[in-house]
A and B are shown apart, each in its own frame.
Chain A
């Protein structure tokens, strides 16, 4: 026994599975709005699944289902027991279960998006859960936030600064935010959005599209050179 041919519960084997994209950031910054925007712009060309991590209700999952941007059955909600960061970083079991459930039911998928519950600046996704991650800030939190850093701001594969439409109202200086973010991110990309005005978040959608493209290419490539599976 021991050889375990059809085990999909084993350590993440990227062959053929969907890219797992984590979307994190503080409460209310626009994570769900971004997920909806990505579903709108990528839905027609990609096979998608979404996992939400709501804090107290299934509000985000319900919002996305009502928005009609994706087949409601492809949206699963995970409950996090007072600790949203635990569920994406320290004990990712329930989220992995949800992602694999989506892949089993609707697979193969191209992209599974996992939205974290709104949390603080230190909350990032475990690599065991997300292959890539986006951190979403909004300008109304003040233009000091990028300077404050924290692993979300400094290490996310993409930093999105949302609600630029509000900048004049809250006196946020976008050039300051841009400069400070660049200073702590060592060249990793930053995009400014106003999802209120651009409901398909096209700049972020473009970034995700190229990510998914290179993910598949990379895995096809690996696959060509690997030993036969099910050995």
Chain B
């Protein structure tokens, strides 16, 4: 079952690894990003805990869910990379098509999926910078060939959710945990920024986050459910996803293409506008 692979980590103690990965103290540059909250505060869209709660719910339902799905897909791809390396040593494997020899190309393809889901240039830039910083730190914290490969495949910085999924895989986490970390990140960054910018009571804001906990779990489940919608093609059928669609052969002899084009793509035009407005504002404390 695909689900078994989704549950397995590369290293032990995945729960503890997840805590480390999601901790805001992870030294990977996240503290300087507000996820649009700074601009929303400037415009008067967020003025207190009630506004903030609505902002966070909206962010989770859109950008948060998309990030969660991309992180889960990246974790799956990173784990598959490990399987393939093991398989590559098996001379009997045979029959792989040429695309399997281009893992860097698959990372670029997944990165392009993230790009396609990120309309605002300012958000793209913020996401790539955070991805680059996370990969740099993760390569020292959880060294693994897949992180080295990813750093080379997208040298200027892979999108943050993809970096997160790959780092999570290297830390031993599964796609669900990766998705959960991404969803968690999507709301805790802006929440902390609002505490700093508005002087909100931090306990009140943590209560908001606690109220969001079931929604975070739901988002992570939805993200993983979207992974299962992979395309299964009969042998010889035309590949609708081009050169990357036939990467994972399954046991039955049909070809399984990553269903990345079908990953969630919920747009949040307000967040896009906030990101662009923030970018052009010269008086700001946060990078995004």
B135 and chain A: residue at smallest CB distance:
A9
Q: Considering the chains assembled together, what is the distance between the CA atoms of A97 and B27 in angstroms?
A: 12
Asked whether A81 lies within 8 Å of B148 as measured between CB atoms, the reply is: no
Please choose the segment from A84-92, A166-174, A186-194 that sits at the chain B interface, where 4 or more of its residues have CB less than 8 A away. A84-92
- Is A83 on the interface with B (CB-CB < 8 A)? yes
Q: Considering the chains assembled together, what is the distance between the CA atoms of A94 and B33 in angstroms?
A: 11
- Is B57 on the interface with A (CB-CB < 8 A)? no
Classify the interface of chain B: helix, strand, loop or mixed: helix
B133 and chain A: residue at smallest CB distance:
A93
What are the residues of chain B within 8 A of A7 when measuring CB–CB? 139, 148, 151
Q: Considering the chains assembled together, what is the distance between the CA atoms of A1 and B151 in angstroms?
A: 14
What are the residues of chain B within 8 A of A80 when measuring CB–CB? 32, 285
What are the residues of chain B within 8 A of A78 when measuring CB–CB? 32
Q: How many residues of B contact A (CB 8 A)?
A: 34
> Considering residues A11, A56, A91, which has the most beta carbons from chain B within 10 angstroms of its beta carbon?
A91
A6 and chain B: residue at smallest CB distance:
B152
- Is B269 on the interface with A (CB-CB < 8 A)? no
Q: Which of A4, A56, A81, A86 lies in contact with B287, CB distance below 8 A? A: A81
Q: Considering the chains assembled together, what is the distance between the CA atoms of A4 and B151 in angstroms?
A: 11
- Is A57 on the interface with B (CB-CB < 8 A)? yes
Q: Which of A56, A57, A97 lies in contact with B29, CB distance below 8 A? A: A97
Chain B 110-147 per-residue mask, 1 if CB under 8 angstroms from chain A, else 0? 00000000000000000001001111110110010100
Q: Which of A2, A79, A87, A96 lies in contact with B145, CB distance below 8 A? A: A2
- Is A10 on the interface with B (CB-CB < 8 A)? yes
What are the residues of chain A within 8 A of B93 when measuring CB–CB? none
Q: Considering the chains assembled together, what is the distance between the CA atoms of A79 and B34 in angstroms?
A: 12
Chain B 231-263 per-residue mask, 1 if CB under 8 angstroms from chain A, else 0? 000000000000000000000000000000000
Closest beta carbon of chain A to B275's beta carbon, Å: 14
Asked whether A79 lies within 8 Å of B284 as measured between CB atoms, the reply is: yes
Q: Considering the chains assembled together, what is the distance between the CA atoms of A1 and B148 in angstroms?
A: 9
What are the residues of chain B within 8 A of A58 when measuring CB–CB? 282
What are the residues of chain B within 8 A of A183 when measuring CB–CB? none
A96 and chain B: residue at smallest CB distance:
B136
Q: Considering the chains assembled together, what is the distance between the CA atoms of A10 and B284 in angstroms?
A: 31
Closest beta carbon of chain B to A61's beta carbon, Å: 12
Q: Considering the chains assembled together, what is the distance between the CA atoms of A81 and B189 in angstroms?
A: 11
Q: Which of A9, A56, A94, A96 lies in contact with B32, CB distance below 8 A? A: A94
Q: Which of A10, A82, A90 lies in contact with B285, CB distance below 8 A? A: A82
Contact residues of A between 80 and 125, Cβ < 8 Å to B:
80-83, 86-87, 90-94, 96-97
What are the residues of chain B within 8 A of A11 when measuring CB–CB? 140
A9 and chain B: residue at smallest CB distance:
B136
Whether A93 touches B140, Cβ cut-off 8 Å, given contacts A1-B85, A57-B283, A79-B286, is no
8 interchain residue pairs of minimum CB distance? A81-B32, A1-B145, A93-B29, A93-B133, A91-B27, A82-B196, A81-B286, A79-B287
In the assembled complex, 10 residue pairs joining A and B whose CB atoms fall closer than 8 Å, in A order, are A2-B145, A7-B148, A9-B139, A91-B26, A93-B29, A93-B134, A94-B29, A96-B136, A97-B29, A97-B129
13 additional A-B pairs beyond A1-B85, A91-B25, A94-B32, beta carbons within 8 Å, are A2-B143, A7-B148, A10-B140, A11-B140, A55-B285, A58-B282, A78-B32, A81-B193, A90-B27, A91-B27, A93-B133, A94-B29, A96-B136
